Amino acid sequence: MKKNMLLITVVLFAFFSFAQEPLPGKAVFSIVSVKDTVRFVSQYGTDTSNVRHLWLFGDGRISEQTAPVHVYTDCGIYKVKHFWMLMDANGAVARTDSFMAEVKTDCPMVCTLKPSFRWQQYKYDPLTEQVLGGTTVFFTNTTPGGLPKGAKFNWYVDGQSYSPDWDPRIDFPHGGQFTVCLRITLLNGCELKYCARIGVADL
């Protein structure tokens, strides 16, 4: 009899110990992304009255819906975190789980940006009142609409990276013909480039 009671006690202890362990994977989610709109679907979509959700979309906004649809205002890559909470009869959190994943969004203006620039060769800089070298050229970035949030850009001279400035001043080693390019890289990985062949005189 004592042996059977001991066996039952061990079984019940194991059962309740297992039942109190956090259930893995509850917060895992999948996404359906169309341009700037993303639908988030919890792996366990069937919800109950004692389950709560919290979504952090990575852009400062949140949701407590089971399967929210979120529209991002900027193109880019966002780290989204989902919290899954199981509530007990008293309304306290009994179990919880979290899951994080990166979400990549596109926007309608993606890859339609048209980089452009103009240039002017000076020997005297009116801003600093300095006499410049005879082969100094000032470049003005004239890309319409400016740059989307998080975009990166760089200037190249004959294929060599030269400056990350918005309006760079380039000191060429000598007069002659050079190919100058402005390359813009957006957060979604899209690269756009504009190149011009310019003549630099020895002033």
Does 179 score more than 70 pLDDT?
yes
Does 167 score more than 60 pLDDT?
yes
Written as one letter, the residue type at 199 is G
Interstrand relation of 130-131 and 124-125 (parallel, antiparallel or unpaired):
antiparallel
Pick the more confident residue, 107 or 138. Answer: 138
pLDDT band at residue 121, thresholds of 50, 70 and 90? confident
For the segment 131-159, what is each residue's pLDDT rounded down to a tens digit? 666 788 999 999 887 666 678 889 999 99
Q: What is the pLDDT of residue 146?
A: 61
pLDDT band at residue 181, thresholds of 50, 70 and 90? very high
User: 170-199: b or e for each residue (b if 16 or more CB lie within 10 Å)?
Assistant: bebeeeeebebbbbbebbbebebebeeebe
What is the Cα–Cα distance from 41 to 28, expressed in whole angstroms?
Answer: 9
Q: What is the pLDDT of residue 109?
A: 52
Phi, psi at 103, each rounded to 5°: -120, 125
10 Å CB burial of residue 138 (0-12, 13-18, 19+) is middle
Give the domains, in start order, of the chain with CATH numbers: 23-105 (2.60.40.10), 117-200 (2.60.40.10)
Q: How far is Cα of residue 90 from the mean position of the Cα atoms in its chain? A: 40
Q: What is the mean pLDDT of residues 87-99?
A: 87
Does 6 score more than 80 pLDDT?
no
Judged by DSSP in three states, 17 sits in: helix
Q: What is the pLDDT of residue 117?
A: 96
Does 13 score more than 60 pLDDT?
no
Q: What is the rounded (10 degree) CA torsion for 32, 37, 43, 48?
A: -140
For the segment 54-92, what is each residue's pLDDT rounded down to a tens digit? 999 999 999 998 889 888 877 788 999 999 888 888 888
Pick the more confident residue, 159 or 45. Answer: 159
pLDDT band at residue 111, thresholds of 50, 70 and 90? confident
